[in-house]
A and B are shown apart, each in its own frame.
Chain A
């Protein structure tokens, strides 16, 4: 038995294992606060080359109880952190005596639509920037404040606050022009098998979404809901931490959150969800 066969057998075994676990209502629709209509299924972008018949929010793959937690902001524990970030928004930090509000006033106005287009090209810096990179650039360059850890509580809460201002808007990241090379790098990673289990992102999230990996109902791995409040660790989780967890689960040495590799992967994975609504903070298991 060669190694590839062994890993396929391993995947077959784990995929078959939890077939009796909780099944989600995949026909459900998501309306938040009886007001914001979320697009949880959308036509697959052309550049997916027909690999997915349609794109589906991870919300569709969760149990009824978990789905309900996202229907009302009061029931959504992720909103606790949005509240905390709103306090932070007005708090002066760093040598320049500024807060976020000093430049950006009310986030409801200044941040509307921002999450939907990140990661995006920053012409001045000549780099692809994630939202976390941009927040830290603001802190260092504009506020004279210390950078936050890339996936720290302060950072994920601020990302959630900014994301909330774009809820219901379609994810719409650019994939061409100056970001094209980074996008190609991310796509290459998506289809590369990593780790002792020799699994690519696509093996689980393109070839096997809807199936179970032990007790877990595999989604398409969309990141339109990040940062996400997980029932498992009862806090907001950054997309790069989820990437790290996935790569680790293939039994590989992972890339670091904030690394150029994960920035490229975030751009590519975000683009796979172009058309789904910004959902953050979403609730997952």
Chain B
């Protein structure tokens, strides 16, 4: 154990002497309060340490003690439903122990050491196992079967294993490793956060992550194992989009990282998720969620670590063969933490003061996502999708963090403040956003939802594009200059925008739309267009067509409950035909 003395303190950066024996990225305890820090630079026997807690009260000659281990997370049963800070300290436990404010030097294990878990083995003595092999299972809750795996990079023969009730650090068995040593198996393992957990092979993502958000699923889908970013100015609804994804995505586990954001948003998740029923399991949503909260008033260095803590936990569940989503709000705050540390280290800055390694760090983070064949001999598949919010200054995405992110991720959901001002939510701009998975996922949609999926989706984008062009004309010469057909296009576009794409996250009937219903909804809008076209050809007045009462019904089709929509939509379809039919007949009579 190396012990050094502090020579310099500048905000979260502490420099200590006498640290020659310590390793890069070792965790150290700083000062009498035993603040947690991490060595990020070594110069001779001087170590630069970023401290994850407020450094007020630290001074020269205070002790620095190395723990000789890198920053690691504890992985085992009990992660689910927990809320941790950026360096995996359990916030609820801390509240119980110390009250409503976070005190310095808190040192509590991430996983409860008292709680006993029922372990059922799936291997027997004498079995040959390698890293990643499933040794047994613990029911973490009603939803999650927590698979106990042999840690990576090990192989050997089981010499002892027994079912029973164990705490996370009690040995449940032993493995005689090939290198002659004995490994005591526990329910818990540790893993350094800055190292990606290994996998066997990566696969192309070919299956969509269904979110129930009409805008996302139909126009800009994300694949399971894919990466996406949500940039937008403040007030454009980034956080609501992120919360919606965390609530409704059809993944097994959600890791939600609140990185440098508002405290109340985390409280909101903590209050709300236990109340919401997961449509797939019938249990509360919290039972598949892990929260990492390093809010903006919490120390800045731990914000940098929070992203890694989150994705390491995600990788661990992916290794069990689950589909996991990591949702990080917001990666800009993480980049700012990097910038702050870089400034204190007096590094030469890149663009806008951000360090030159910003892009490579971001790339490393997103590259930990993917659909993979997990390690272990059964070849199970796991997927890790990563979605990051970006908060560009002034909403201008030409800034370095947005640009660096866009170069990496495959889906861009660009939020637009002008849409937000009109209270068009989610304010995803349909012209500037994109998804590079769209083509790859097409077959899945056609096979699993409806053969008409592609046709409708392409048509919807085309209409929105046409509206954009027509709008220019209207702005110059007025609505009267347009022919009836173009007026109809504008009406249909309005319907797609206001009825289909707008989705109210706070309305329980509207918050989630299953894929088949999405398809049927678009069918409804295009049915209206088809019939209206006929009427226009027969000479009906566009003004009358657009003020038909059935249009209000189309507008309300979004809140049709998922179990009754077929009936309701069929009724609306009939009304479309009937009401427009009447117009045609009238016009016909006049002729």
Decide whether A and B are members of one complex.
no
